[in-house]
Amino acid sequence: MKVLVLNGPNLGRLDIRDSSIYGDMSYADLVAHIVNAAKTHGFEADVRQSNDEAEIIGWLHEAADSNLPVIINPAAFTHYSYAIRDAAEMVKAPLIEVHLSNPLSREEFRHTSVISGVANGTIGGFGPNSYVLALIALKALLS
C-alpha cells in the first residue's frame, strides 16, 4: 500500500535548523528513516517536501483523487493555512498530522493547528519517530 508523506516549508533544511529542537538528522536521513520504517510496516512511502503551499495543496488533491493515505507535517503552515486544511479535508483515506517537535510545548503561536480538525490524529514530539508512530497508527486504521 502506498502512502504519501508530505513535508512543509523549511523541513528540507533540517540539518541547519535548531538542533536542540529538531535534532541533528539531515532531511535525506529523515527520508531514509521514513522509507525504511514504511517497508517494515508494509507500506511504500512516497516522501515529498515543499516550501510552496500550492504544491502541497496539489499533492493533497492527488491523494484525494487517488484515495491515498497521507502523513503530513505541514510545518509552519500547520498554524495558519486554511487552504491546506481545506485540501486535507478532501482526502477520504486516513490522514495523520505529524511534528518532529511538540508544538504545544513551544511558542504560543504553535499551539494552534488548523489541520488537526481534519486529521484522523496528530503525533508530535518524538523526532523522526513521530513518522514511525504515524505509520503504525495508519496500519491499524487500515486493517
Given the rule CB under 6 A, which residues bind ligand DQA? 10, 73, 75-76, 78, 99-101, 103, 110
The residue among 76 and 83 lying less far from ligand DQA, judged by its C-beta, is: 76
Residue 27 known to be catalytic: no
In contact, 62 and 95? CB cutoff 8 Å: no
Angle 106-109-111 from CA coordinates, rounded to 5° = 60
The set of residues, in sequence order, having a beta carbon less than 8 Å from that of 97 and lying 6+ positions away, is 72, 73, 74, 78, 113, 115, 116, 119, 121, 122, 123, 124
| Smallest separation, CB 58 to ligand DQA (Å) | 20
Q: Please name the amino acid found at residue 28.
A: A
Pick the catalytic residue: 33, 82, 99, 131? 99
Residue 22 known to be catalytic: yes
| Smallest separation, CB 7 to ligand DQA (Å) | 8
The residue among 42 and 117 lying less far from ligand DQA, judged by its C-beta, is: 117
Q: Which residues are catalytic?
A: 22, 99
